[in-house]
Amino acid sequence: MGETFYERVIEIIKSIPPGKIATYGEIADYAGNQRAARQVTYILNSSWEKHKLPWHRVVNSKGGISLKQGRGYKLQKKLLEKEGIIFDEDARIDLKRFQWFPE
């Protein structure tokens, strides 16, 4: 694991396998600061390209996509569905079935 919260967040996100998803809060938790979920979004925004992060595999605690329509919402949903993830009629993912947990 990396030295800083930032590095650990990067590592964790990179290790989320295809077909699985993780939540912002969960990632912040494993990275060492359970209350820094919002910071995870910041790291995602600023560094997903640089580290080639599978950004689409990160969703909110309700199992839904937080991006707004017109700002990546459709793309994220499409990428996840392509990996086999299923959304219910309320556009939510069944966390019990698809949530990934680090070792």
Partner DNA sequence: AACCTGACTTCGG
Partner DNA sequence: TCCGAAGCCAGGT
Residues binding DNA (CB under 7 A): 5, 23-26, 33, 35-42, 44-46, 48, 55-56, 58, 60-62, 66-68, 72, 76
Rounded distance, CA 86 to CA 97, Å? 10
The residue among 68 and 103 lying less far from DNA, judged by its C-beta, is 68
Rounded least distance, CB 9 to DNA, Å: 11
8 A C-beta contact, residue 8 and residue 31:
yes
Rounded distance, CA 88 to CA 76, Å? 15
Torsion of CA 16, 103, 88, 73, to 10 degrees: -30
Rounded least distance, CB 103 to DNA, Å: 20
DSSP state of 68: P
Rounded least distance, CB 101 to DNA, Å: 14
